[in-house]
A and B are shown apart, each in its own frame.
Chain A
Amino acid sequence: MGPQDVLALLFGSSLTIIVADRLGRRLGAARAAGYVTVAALTTALLMSSSLPSGRYRPFPATGIPVAELRVDEASRIFSLLFTSLGLLVAIYSLKYMEGEEGLGAYYLLLLLMVAGMVGVALSNDLFTLYCFWELMSVTAYALVAFRWWHWEPVEAGLKYLVMSTLGALVALYAISVIYGVAGTTNFDELRSIFATLGDEGVVRLLAGLLLFGFGVTAAIAPFHTWLPDAHPAAPSSISAMLSGVVIKAGVYAIARALLYILPPTSGIGYLLMYVGLLTCTVGNLAALRQLDVKRFLAYSSVANIGYIMVGMGAGYRAHLLGLTQFALAGVAGAMLHVINHALGKGLLFLCTGSAIHVIKSRAIPDLEGCGRSMRITGISSAIGLLNLAGIPPLAGFWSKLLIAYGLAGLLWDPLITMALIVFIANAVLAAGYYIYLLMRLFRRRATGAGEVSPLMWGPELALAAACLILTLLLSHVLVHVYTGASALMGVVG
């Protein structure tokens, strides 16, 4: 069994959804499409959890050197993250989206979006990656604008479409330049070609273009402006997907391109780090004054992408200087933070979805006290908030510590010392507003709003438990994350 089977399963089941939806509606089983999605994602999750590492050619007969797939620790971690969050969101949607128009389309788009992301994580050449990238993006626009009869989602979806397409165009341009220079788009071949190319200018240009292009989806500042509109406007289940994993696909593409394909070049590490610092500062500051809880979470997602970029930048710089230990720490910290933020932010969006479902408002003052009246949602969101605030001993603390450790290894460099200070100041600021939100959710006495259905709190509880399990099994998780980091950078740790 290989990665092509996982992708085939996802695409195959998307056809089944259409049939199931039609049949279901005729027989009065409105959830049929949802059940098919859940089943497909469960199977995909089980399959992708045991993929053996290696390179795969799904179409061996053609002899065309494109469409190659790869499995290593990094792509396995990312694809597992994508499918598992997709599965939980699908379960959540069974109840949350009940009674909406066009559920068949909703589940079809959701499944195709997961397929696109998994494809991004599993492809081994830039062209395949680009195709899956577009699949993911197009389905994401449609999902943001899913409630098209409202004005807000349509505007947000359009904005997302314009910005993201512009980014994708730049990325496509970069890929074509790469093909022009190297004559191939295969990751491993590119890696060896660029390692011996010796033309630093081309490498710098390509790194800049790829960061510019993929950076829009990853929401790094100043290309993040679509995100605070798109994430709140989407249905909460889709917000969980977007903030939880879709922007992480952007992170994955950047990491794969800059850390694996292109050789380390001076200056790019700083660029990543400072773009990251700008991103987290802008995100944190903008989040501070939000009254809309989903906008608040959206800006905090921008900030968290910033931390991840800082970790990658530190790793990049340390790798360039040959300090493998710190390089691994930085990138592993970034990856651990990807996992933490995917679980934590997915959890928080699902929880706010439940709260909004009951209270019918997105304003933080209206949500006061719902942490007490909605017991399970309240406790789960508390765990998510504490995890993202980086309160020890939760995993969110360790990922930031690892990133700071990666920076600390280069502390003799004044630019890095400054970066570390800004990074820590940001972490403190963020912890402050997460705790502030937590306080507001729990401050008042219960409001009388009841708990939601188990189909909705089940996924929340699962994600909260995942945050705790991540902490308890930290040593095992760290082993995987370190292996993933060394696979991403192509170094032996």
Chain B
Amino acid sequence: MSVEVFANLAWGAPVAGALLTPLLARISGKVRDSAAVAACLASALSASMLLAPLIRGELPTVYKHEWVGLPGLGKISFGILLDPLSVILANMVAWISTLVFIYSLSYMRGDPGLTRYWFFMQLFVGNMELLVLSENLVQMLVGWEGVGLCSYALIGYWYQDREEDYLRCWVGEPPEAYPPSHCGLKAFLVTRFGDTLMIAGILLLSLTAGTVSLTALRAAPPTAPPQLLLAALMLIYAGAVGKSAQLPLMEWLPDAMAGPSSVSALIHAATMVKAGAYLTARLAGVALAWSSYVDTSLFFEYVMWTGVITALIASLQAAVATELKKTLAYSTVSQIGYMMAALGATAAEPAASVAAAVFHLLSHAVFKASLFLAAGAVIHAVGSRFYKHYGGLGRYMRATLVSVLLASLSLMGVPPLSGFWSKDLVLSVVLRADPAAFCVALATAGITAFYTVRMVGRTFLGEESEVVREKAEAHEIHEADPVMLAPYAVLAVLSLALGLAGPWLEHELSSALSLSGGAGDPSWEVTAASIIVLLAGVAPAYLLYVKGREAPSLKILERLRELLLRRLYINAAYYKLFALPTLKLGRGALRVEAGMTSTLWRVAVGSLKLADAVRRLHTGVLNWNVLLWVVGGVVLLLLALFG
């Protein structure tokens, strides 16, 4: 079979699986569940087959088919782009999905809405694969909106919004506590905001550049006004900002934690939120190719600075979060900020920037998926999402603790785990572009270490909470069952393995993804600095949350904590500025619409009356018919002769 068949299978198999799910559900739940896992595995195996041409060095390849060519209206084509970036991402998405699917078999067992769950999970994988494999921006947009839809449906999966599920699947604390369906809607609307700008950007690009093909765009700068091209780039980047939850569109991701943990792991940590980074990597390549013609430095500066500032703010918010999954969510936002920062440094460091971002993307996907899945197991065991109900869980869940420790060390960037190598590469790339940005990113690394230790400490170590003690006495807390444990343990070990292969992987990625031909290496100063900052972050967290020391009560720290807990008031401001006025507008529009409906009703009644009149003309009496024929014919001839 040709490579193209596998590429199409990679996205086609899960989509077909999704469509079959409602049918298979009629046979039995078991068949439906195993078919879903099988479809995902098929996608993963097909994606692996794409690695062969990558290793043989036959990439990039483009497969293109024209679907409709309307004379004068342009062409609509379907294309697959296989290059190192898309193949690596396709594999990452499919394999992590497979593990999450296996985890779901146990985690979601007995849920009444499983047909819906599997349908959207498979549709998600298919659309994500379509997104990364697409050759043109319009086709990519199909996958892009597809994953957005699935994300919406899966965040709001427990759409009943029951009060008694408050501890399990709501998000936040009053006054910012939201039920799942609200969170799904919020995620959809916020990302749609970015998407709308992105669609405008794609339109602008196709109007000015005359093409939306990624290969064609990169091949040569189009002959169009440079300002318009730059505007198109920035608009498309807005889509990435929304999807990857960067400032100022980051507010949806923390609330997306209302979905099942498997969904959080797959969609809101490992894959979908990386779509923005993927798109930015593509845009960075395009922008670099255009740099002789268009002044793209504004674009790169913007990308880098949004990245580092988002990384810093999100890491601070992670450090005060009161829920386990929220810490992880903010941490995800922060880590994607790193990837964006690296991509923003492309102009200064074209050799290693994309490699740094992709390497960090890979290692983050692995350890964060592991952490989220483990968090799901913890919530499963304790029945609460809050830290205040945890503590000392390591005693009851040993294997989970080991796995979480491994993944956490990777998140902190402890050598020789994968997170260490990738963060190092990101930092050194940023340093070469802008020392000031580097300082911010470095500080973020320290805070990352702090909140990671806090998370592990408050959950697994430290003193047991009341809830844990009661549950332990009732023998209700126990290790996750093997079907759940295996996926996150495998991911944790994988994170170690990727770390051991780190230098080699770094070199390979650099040579495969380099935009300039050479390959960059991190410098030892960066390594030293990051290790020092790491220790500076670990020490206070260890004392506070593992050893149980009292925190010094400083007024300014209290203020800062309050500010961060209230999400810097950005969330509240958005509600005040956008959500409430929109609702008000909606109520007004409803009144207008009611008026219009009655008008339309009158139109409908009128056309029915007209229909009756027309019907009455059709008497069916032959004499009248012939008369009408004669009269009509005469009129027609007169019109033909003198009209």
Chain A interface residues toward B at CB < 8 A: 158-159, 162-163, 166-167, 170, 201, 204-205, 207-209, 211-212, 215-216, 221-223, 225-226, 228-229, 267-268, 270-271, 275, 282, 285-286, 288-289, 325, 328-329, 398, 402, 405, 429, 474-475, 478, 482
Contact = CB atoms under 8 A, between A and B. Distances in A.
Contacts of A288: 607-608, 611
22 contacts: A159-B625, A166-B629, A205-B641, A215-B636, A222-B632, A223-B629, A223-B633, A225-B618, A225-B625, A268-B640, A270-B643, A271-B639, A271-B640, A286-B615, A288-B611, A289-B612, A325-B71, A329-B72, A474-B67, A474-B68, A475-B67, A475-B69
B70 interface: yes
A285 B636 contact: no
B637 interface: yes
A158 B641 CA distance: 32
B622 interface: yes
Interface in B614-640: 614-615, 618, 620, 622, 624-626, 628-629, 631-633, 636-637, 639-640
Given A285-B610, A286-B615, A289-B608, A208 B629 contact: no
A216 B641 contact: no
Contact of A211 (B610, B614, B622, B636): B636
Given A223-B632, A475-B67, A205 B625 contact: no
Given A271-B643, A285-B611, A289-B611, A405 B73 contact: yes
Contacts of A159: 622, 625
Q: Is the interface of B mostly helix, strand, loop or mixed?
A: helix
B558 interface: no
B618 A228 contact: yes
A163 B69 contact: no
A204 B641 contact: yes
Contacts of A398: 68
A474 to B, nearest CB: 5
User: Size class of B's contact patch?
Assistant: 20 to 34
A463 to B, nearest CB: 22
Contacts of B632: 221-223
Contacts of B68: 398, 474-475, 478
Interface in B67-90: 67-73
B625 A212 contact: no
Contacts of B624: 225
A222 B71 contact: no
Contacts of B550: none
Contact of A170 (B631, B633, B643): B633
A271 B67 CA distance: 36
Contacts of A221: 632
Interface string B188-201: 00000000000000
A281 to B, nearest CB: 8
Interface string B431-451: 000000000000000000000
B639 to A, nearest CB: 5
Nearest to A274: B639
B636 A329 contact: no
Given A163-B626, A225-B620, A475-B68, 13 more contacts: A163-B629, A166-B626, A204-B641, A205-B637, A208-B639, A208-B640, A223-B629, A223-B632, A225-B618, A229-B620, A286-B611, A329-B72, A474-B67
B507 to A, nearest CB: 46
Contacts of A216: 629
B605 to A, nearest CB: 12
A429 B604 CA distance: 10
Contact of B71 (A211, A270, A329): A329
B473 interface: no
A325 B72 contact: yes
B607 A222 contact: no
Nearest to A209: B637
Return the 3 tightest CB-CB contacts between A and B, nearest first.
A208-B640, A222-B632, A288-B611
Interface in B388-424: none
B73 A285 contact: no
A482 B71 contact: yes
Contacts of B614: 282, 285-286
Nearest to B65: A475
Contact of A162 (B72, B610, B622): B622
A162 B626 CA distance: 8
B73 to A, nearest CB: 7
Interface string B580-614: 00000000000000000000000000011011101
A415 B222 CA distance: 40
B260 to A, nearest CB: 34
B576 to A, nearest CB: 40
A267 B639 CA distance: 8
B111 interface: no
B505 to A, nearest CB: 43
B525 interface: no
B164 interface: no
Contacts of A158: 622
Contacts of B622: 158-159, 162
Contacts of B620: 225, 228-229
Contacts of B641: 201, 204-205, 208
Given A282-B614, A475-B67, A207 B640 contact: yes
Contact of B625 (A226, A267, A429): A226
B163 interface: no
A325 B608 CA distance: 38
A312 to B, nearest CB: 15
Contacts of B69: 475, 478
B398 to A, nearest CB: 56
Interface in B305-333: none
A407 to B, nearest CB: 14
Given A204-B641, A405-B73, A271 B636 contact: yes
Contacts of A167: 629
Contacts of B633: 170, 212, 223
Which of A201, A398, A475 has most B Cβ within 10 Å?
A475
A402 B73 CA distance: 10
B566 to A, nearest CB: 47
B636 A478 contact: no
A270 B632 CA distance: 16
B69 to A, nearest CB: 5
Interface in B163-210: none
Which of A167, A201, A225, A228 has most B Cβ within 10 Å?
A225
A345 B510 CA distance: 61
A211 B634 CA distance: 12
Contacts of B626: 162-163, 166
A225 to B, nearest CB: 4
Nearest to A221: B632
Given A216-B629, A271-B643, A478 B615 contact: no
Contacts of B637: 205, 208-209, 212
B611 A475 contact: no
A25 to B, nearest CB: 37
B70 A478 contact: yes
A205 B66 contact: no
A330 B608 CA distance: 31
B629 A429 contact: no
A478 B73 CA distance: 13
A69 to B, nearest CB: 29
A331 to B, nearest CB: 13
Contacts of A225: 618, 620, 624-625, 628-629
A275 B639 CA distance: 11
Contacts of A226: 625
Contacts of A211: 636, 640
Contacts of A282: 614
A328 B607 contact: no
Contacts of A402: 70
B264 to A, nearest CB: 35
B607 A429 contact: yes
A482 B640 CA distance: 28
Contacts of B640: 204-205, 207-208, 211, 267-268, 271
